[in-house]
Each structure stands twice: as structure tokens, then as C-alpha cells.
Structure 1
Amino acid sequence: MINAVYEISSINYLDDKLIINNALSELAAKCGLQNEFDFGQPTSRFGWTFFKVWIKPNFQMQIEQRLADMIKKSKGSKHEEKFTNFLTDYFQSKGCKVKVKLVEV
């Protein structure tokens, strides 16, 4: 299984990256994991900063198992859409105003 790649769109890159890093680290710790995600280099356009986050398959699987109820309630008809919307909602609940898009599975 390969890493899922998500593109994050942010208008407050440094703060949002820190919040996302802390949120994913917290989730990984709850799953008994560490170093299960990585960030790509940011690019800026039109006041937005875009950067990628790679989530390792084992970590994504652990999130899906532990937070299945929350993911099921997320918008979307396909599982990938639900998980992507769950990530957006999860990051926003931590104080991030970001958009998340699945770009590669």
C-alpha cells in the first residue's frame, strides 16, 4: 500500500502547519505510532499557501479504525471523500482554517 497524499490550502501557513503537525502527532500517539506523516515544500499563489502532507498507509488505517464513527458522518459518497472531509473537519476543530484535497492514493 502506498502513502496517501493530501494537498492543504492555507492562508496562514506557519500557524496552520504547526496545528496540523500537532494534530497528526496527537493522533499518531493515540495509535501508538510516530513519524507516520511528512510535509512537502510550500508554494504560494493568490494569498494562499499550498503544501502536501503524506500519510503512511498504516497510520491512515489506524485512524480509519479508531475514528470510524466520525468518518462515517463526514460528507461524501465515496470513502476517500469522507476521509478527506474528516481531515478538513478535524483540522478545523483544532483551529485551522484550511482546505484539504486528496491528490494521490
Structure 2
Amino acid sequence: MKNFEFFGAPHVAVITTEDALGVYGAVDCGLYVGTFLLAAESLGVACIPQAALAGYAEFIREFLGLDNNRKIVCAISFGYADEEHPANGFQTTREPVANAASWAH
């Protein structure tokens, strides 16, 4: 599966949090990941957030030498996109924003 080969990206960031922070640490990580993705995109760097890697937390902690109190939240594979790759031409359909959100005036 390409997911576990980081989609061929040359770099990966493993996002972790302290176990003691609980859900708040995960929320902080989510905010960080969102900012990372936006910043990378602004520089022309493609990113793929990958939650599936958290299912292999024990292996990742051992491989990277992380303490057991570090919880693996996700990873972000990143690098310059291969625009010619067929996967980069895939488009999904999306619900219009008006059907998913309402705005108070």
C-alpha cells in the first residue's frame, strides 16, 4: 500500500503528543497539522496527512527511539508533487459549502 510507503514522498513528519495531555494534546496536534499543510502549500510543497500510521505506534516509537509516553497522532508525507502522476489528476465530488455550513449574520 502506497500509504505505508509515504506515497513516494521524500520527507515525513511524525506528529506526536505527550500521553498526559490527553485529548487536548491531540487537538493541539490537529491545529499544528492544519497550519503545516497550509504553510507547505503556500510554498508549493505537496502534503498528505496520514492517520493510518498511528496504528503502528509501537513500531514507530521503537524505530525513532521515542518514549512510551509519546502518542503517535499521525504523519505528514511531503515533497514536491509529481504533477504527471495519474493520482494527482484524481478529483472527488464535493458537497456545496451552503449544504454543509450555515452562517450567522
TM-score, structure 2 as length reference = 0.37
Of structures 1 and 2, the one with the larger relative CO (CA 8 A, separation 6+) is 1
Structure with greater helix share of residues: 2
Structure with greater strand share of residues: 1
